[in-house]
Amino acid sequence: MPKLVLDALDQALAARNPDRDRLTHHSDRGVQYLSIKYTERLEDAKIGASVGSVGDSYDNALAETINGLYKTEVIEHEGPWSGKKDVEMATLQWVYWYNTKRLFGPLGYISPATAERNFYNAELTAKIAAE
């Protein structure tokens, strides 16, 4: 399995420090996500996997959608590529834009990061009010 896949998971866990009781991992059922090492890392971090049996397209629809957007918006649109580093940098830039700058209509034309922040702030406010 590529080291990049495990490194990306470790980076996400370190950067986000998520409430792992509520964290679900979405994947496209690619071989790298089904490897023993990756599965063990998810289990160690108490992350639930959102994949079912083969043919359960609803289980991985989110991952398939994101992968399709990435391939269309980055790989096909911005290529050809000079090398691996160019693809990695373009990927980092796209993920940053996708999560923090993109205005998403179903969220009220705010970014996913803003929507997540608003959700957790509201949850914290409700918890404090209940005390």
Q: Is residue 3 part of a domain?
A: yes
Those residues of the chain that have pLDDT short of 70 are 1-2, 18-21, 27-34, 50-60
Per the CB < 8 A criterion, the answer to whether 62 and 26 are in contact is yes
Q: Is residue 21 part of a domain?
A: yes
Domain count, the chain: 1
Q: Is residue 52 part of a domain?
A: yes
Q: Is residue 121 part of a domain?
A: no
Structure confidence at residue 114 (pLDDT)? 96
What is the span of the domain harbouring residue 5? 1-60
Q: Is residue 31 part of a domain?
A: yes
What's the rounded Cα separation, in Å, for the pair 34 and 32? Answer: 6
Structure confidence at residue 10 (pLDDT)? 85
Per the CB < 8 A criterion, the answer to whether 53 and 90 are in contact is no
CA 19 to the chain's CA centroid:
15
Q: Is residue 108 part of a domain?
A: no
Structure confidence at residue 32 (pLDDT)? 57
Q: Is the pTM of this model over 0.85?
A: no
Sequential DSSP letters for 20-74: GGG-EE-----HHHHSHHHHHHHHHTT-EE---STT-GGGSHHHHHHHHHHIIII
Q: Is residue 85 part of a domain?
A: no
Structure confidence at residue 12 (pLDDT)? 82
pLDDT tens digits along 89-117: 999 999 999 999 999 999 999 999 999 99
Structure confidence at residue 70 (pLDDT)? 92
Angle between helices 3-16 and 36-44 (to 10 degrees): 10
